[in-house]
Structure 1
Amino acid sequence: MIDLDVLATAIKAWGRELGFADVRIADADLAASEPGFEAWLAQGFHGEMDYMAAHGSKRTRPAELVPGTSSA
């Protein structure tokens, strides 16, 4: 079984080694952000980043995009 604390520590260390100033791991529950994200897309704020709209609601429901996702 994977020790999630050890994994998180390793991910953060790798991020620092790559030059990131800060590395954080967040819950993947974005339900509260979905209406704002949908409005943001509808207003065209994603510009030429077509991939932002390509998966529709899966952008705010990561487990539908990658099954089993619980954090990012």
Structure 2
Amino acid sequence: MVLPPDDEPARCSAKGCRADAVWALRWNNPALHTPERRKLWAACEEHRDHLAGFLTARGFLRDVVPLAEAEPDPGPA
């Protein structure tokens, strides 16, 4: 996910959800990404646990932070 401009709200990454996101789920796939790389999914309150569970089951979730504290992914390292 690319963070939107400051004047636009980020939307939840859950399929079909258009709610404003308040959480950033930072993850990486160790088979594809360098250890320091962090991809980002945005989540509303309702979908935070569901999205985190999906990433955790695959061993991808690294941390969850408030969206306001998330930094954009710089891209491949």
TM (normalized to structure 1)? Answer: 0.33
Which of these two proteins has the greater Rg computed from alpha carbons? 1
Compute the TM-score of the two structures, normalised by the length of structure 2.
0.32
User: When you count helix as a share of all residues, which structure comes out higher?
Assistant: 1
